[in-house]
Amino acid sequence: MASSLTKDSADPSAEPTFFGHPRGLATLFMTEMWERFSYYGMRALLVYYLVSGGADAATGSQGGGLAMTAATTTAIYSVYVSMVYLMAMPGGWFGDRVWGARKTVAIAGFVIMGGHLSLALPGQAMFFVGLILVATGSGLLKANISTMVGHLYDGPEDPRRDGGFTIFYIGINLGAFVAPFIVGTVGKEHNWHLGFALAAVGMGLGLAQFLIGTKNLSPKSSEVPNPLTPEERTAVIRKVLLWVAGIAVFYGAVVWLGYYTLNWALVPLTLAGLIIPVAVLTRIKRDKDLSNPEQSRMTAYIWFFIAAAVFWMIYDQGGSTLSLFADSKTADTIFGLGFSATWYQSLNPLFVMALAPVFAWLWLWLARKNQEPNTIVKFAMGLVLVGASFFVFIVPMNMAGDGTMVSPMWLVSIYMIQTIGELCLSPVGLSVTTKMAPQKYASQMMGVWFLAVTAGDCTTSLLSIAGVDLNGTWVIGFEALAAVLAGFAVYSYRKKVQSMMGSVH
């Protein structure tokens, strides 16, 4: 029966479905759910493993981490997250020009699993190898698995398409929600490397599901839309080898001369994460092939890009600054029940699953009354809300100044406010990116949107490397004020930005 799952089958109504959708959606749903389980499970452990030192005999807490400072930990975490999103662009390129989406996702799964297995081995060297592999694999997978969901449907006009992506989005958040309870608890409270190994098991289950169910996917997923010519392939290989050789020689010399420190790796990656987004936007903006309306829309899009970078700079500290506060200054019991600090990382996906349908209904209800805020206003709301979350954060930070362990409800409130901000900004950001993209760059602009995350996280990393204490009250207050002011600036210039957007609303 499964072999008949094609769009031109004689009796489509007889085909097995997944909640009324093509059977291949179940394969992609499960693959993404387990990949997100592995990613968010590992991410829940990351900052705690980096700051953990020797075991505490008084409390019985485990040691065995890398015993790094909070500043270095924040820098590493921010660079890692930024590289995941930065790698989405070359990931899309591999899917379009080298392997096709299906093969790229399969390879990505093996790379991610290998990364988690590397993290499961003790030692700083294997830890960083693991981070590189997970970031690379996640970038390859992120850019292509959503494309395959689109392939399941009969073009953009298929009425099931939006519903299919909604179900797929549930899989993302379901995996992210469950992971901290399992991977996080086992890793932080019992054994770091066993936790990382569980993340590898999760990716292994997702990969197995993908390979078994690959027959249910669209044939389009195996196609290479724009394959490299032999000449292009030779040129790419030559350039890559030259870059790899140059980097190897440079860092070999630095190590040989005895100058190497961790910043020799962090600083170049951080600067790359800031320079590449600027370079990509500049290249598109200066393209003379773009029409005047497209040029105008790109100018407007830069406003959205900068706003998104400010948003993600604060939002992604939920896995670093907020996590460190959760572990050291927040009570670990509620209603008499103890819990791991990693559980806080389940709040965002929980709130997304609970509130996303509410927001979808709210926007439709306001639209029927002709009162729905436009994209610019929603962006401004997202920025003000994420800034407000850090203003709220200042209160428990001051309460904990004398050693008091604050209530977990403070962090629950902060994560909820940030999630509401995310629901105002992130979905409409994806939508406006597709609407404002110049036709020449239609397939690349989604990668450009992800670069806003890269820019925001690399700003956080650069501040940490420069010695700015991101766990300090004054810095938190400054970030909060910057986000709120950015929100008001976007709102104040909404008419000017809207005029540049033309017919896009």
pLDDT at 6: 40
pTM of the model as a whole: 0.89
- Confidence band of 17 (pLDDT split at 50, 70, 90): confident
> Which amino acid does the sequence have at 78?
S
Whether the Cβ atoms of residue 102 and residue 86 lie closer than 8 Å to each other? no
Residue 258: pLDDT over 60: yes
User: Residue 440: exposed, middle, or buried by beta-carbon count in 10 A (0-12, 13-18, 19+)?
Assistant: middle
User: What does the pLDDT look like over 414-443, one tens digit per residue?
Assistant: 999 999 999 999 888 877 887 788 878 776
Whether the Cβ atoms of residue 272 and residue 451 lie closer than 8 Å to each other? no
Residue 61: pLDDT over 60: no
Neighbours of 308 (CB within 10 A): 25
Buried (b) or exposed (e) across 315-347, using 16+ Cβ within 10 A? bbbbbbbbbbbbbebbeeeeeeeeebbbbbbbb
Mean pLDDT of the chain: 88
User: What are the C-alpha distances in Å from 356 to residues 43, 319, 372, 418, 420?
Assistant: 23, 21, 16, 13, 9
Residue 11: pLDDT over 50: no
User: What does the pLDDT look like over 155-212, one tens digit per residue?
Assistant: 766 778 777 888 888 889 999 999 999 999 999 999 999 999 999 999 999 999 999 9
**Parallel, antiparallel or unpaired: strands 337-338 and 21-22:** unpaired
- Confidence band of 63 (pLDDT split at 50, 70, 90): low
Whether the Cβ atoms of residue 28 and residue 145 lie closer than 8 Å to each other? yes
User: What are the C-alpha distances in Å from 485 to residues 72, 390, 420, 488?
Assistant: 28, 13, 18, 5
The owner of tokens 């509401």 is 420
| Interatomic CA distance for residues 486 and 261, integer angstroms | 36
The owner of tokens 């001051």 is 398
Instruction: Over range 109-125, report the average pLDDT.
Output: 94
- Put residue 373 in one of left, alpha, beta given phi > 0 → left and psi -120 to 50 → alpha: beta
pLDDT at 156: 65
Diameter of the chain by CA atoms?
73
pLDDT at 62: 61
Whether the Cβ atoms of residue 289 and residue 432 lie closer than 8 Å to each other? no
